[in-house]
Amino acid sequence: MLRKFELVALIAFLGLSTAGFADQITLKNGDRLTGTVVKSDGKTLVLHTEFAGDVTVQFTAITQITTEKELHITTSDKKTVVGPVNTSNGKIEVATKTGGTVEVPSGNVVMIRNDAEQAAYDKSLHPGLAYGWNGGANVGFSLARGNSQTTNLALAINAVHPTVNDKITVYLTAIDTQNQLATPSTVANLVTGGFRYDRNFNPKVFGFGAGDFMSNALQDLDLRAVYTGGLGYHVIKSDNTVIDLLAGINFTHETYSNGPEVTPPTVPPTFTSYGVTNKFAALTLGEELMHKAGKTTVLTQKFYFFPDLSSGYSGQYRGEFDFGTVTKISKWLGWQNQFNDIYVSNPPITAKKNDVIFTTGLNFSFTH
């Protein structure tokens, strides 16, 4: 009889111990979920469970929250209280260490974070320029021999430094395809690079400044430099989807390596050069999309339109469209596909207006 009692007591003790180390939420339909409360924005709550991973629940569907560990509760009046949480009569009771129990109406909750999320948030406020970078490097290579002799190399590096109020983006792409037949020739040689700085004015509106640079051998473009300033608007901004609209004014300086012969007779020694240089102001109109399709794939899409404003280039414009996917294979390795369409309404006489490029290869992600 004693052994039976001891067994029951042991099972009860283990059950209470397991429950004691877990947070629990109760839903309106009576279901209970056990795990660790990670964060909430007042609309949804993320609970990390042992077997199902992160589970997202509508905040309004929750009737009870009970935690053993401290949570950081930020209210609509920008106050933060810290402590274990229990809900009662539509209010969140926070057992603070110094102020006793503090009641917060559920409707006043703006943000909930556990210790790890709060530490990450605090660090993001002032991360320092050397830290907080994340991004990826894409590499693709192909080689053909036999009836054709071509080599193709595609490289892309994208790095982002986000904080709560601003973001720095740096990128570089290079595509080089060579034909090594009897008469070697360049099939494609495109290099683009640039940077952008975004500064949030409020949750929806941000300002930005950017510098973009491009060299395209097939269009005889030695270098195009575009310096832009403008405003952006977050149509949608969530963990899974971001849609931005942008508008601004840019100054464009571009040099082409073709054109009429120029022989300055007054500059000794006499030499012959080729080239056309354009300088003009233009509008920058853009749309950007990022969407997480499931747990492993990220879709990105960008469309930019640059109508010229200067009288000498009236009616001329450029357009750029990009679409890409990255599918994770592991934490740091993925497979990427990228489609680019670059259109120029007034290219050099010997060049076509449109360049379409598709690349595929491996993606190596990084965080610093």
pLDDT tens for each residue of 148-190: 677 778 888 899 988 878 899 999 988 887 777 656 666 678 8
The total of other beta-carbon atoms located within 10 Å of residue 47's CB is 24
Q: What is the pTM of this model?
A: 0.67
Structure tokens belonging to residue 255: 């040099």
- Find which of 16-25, 32-41, 357-366 is predicted with most confidence, using mean pLDDT: 32-41
Q: How far, in Å, CA of 115 to CA of 73, rounded? A: 11
Q: Is the pLDDT of residue 334 over 50?
A: yes
According to the model, what pLDDT value does residue 288 have? Answer: 96
Mean pLDDT of 82-87: 88
What is the spatial distance between Cα 72 and Cα 94, in angstroms, rounded to a whole number?
9
Q: Dihedral sign, CA of 132, 133, 135, 139?
A: negative
List domains and CATH numbers for the chain. 2-125 (no CATH), 134-367 (2.40.230)
**Rounded CA gap, 347 and 207, in Å?**
31
| Structure confidence at residue 17 as a pLDDT band (50, 70, 90) | very low
The model's confidence at residue 315, banded by pLDDT at 50, 70 and 90, is: confident
Q: Which of 99, 40, 121, 100 is CA-nearest to residue 73?
A: 40
HSE-up of 61 (CA within 13 Å, CB side)? 12
Question: SS3 breakdown of the chain: % helix, strand, coil, rounded to 5?
Answer: 10, 60, 25
Question: Would you say residue 11 has pLDDT above 60?
Answer: no
Percent of the chain with pLDDT over 70: 83
The residue whose two tokens read 């973009």 is: 212
Q: Which is more confident, 277 or 183?
A: 277
**pLDDT the model gives residue 233:** 97
pLDDT bin (cut points 50, 70, 90) of residue 12 is very low
> Is 260's pLDDT higher than 70?
no
Q: Mean pLDDT throughout 333-352?
A: 84
For the chain, the straight-line distance linking the first and the last C-alpha, in angstroms and rounded, comes to 61
Tell whether the model's pLDDT for residue 242 goes beyond 70: yes
Res. 258 pLDDT band, cuts 50 70 90: low
Structure tokens at 51: 């077997």
Please tell me which residue, 264 or 103, carries the higher pLDDT value: 103
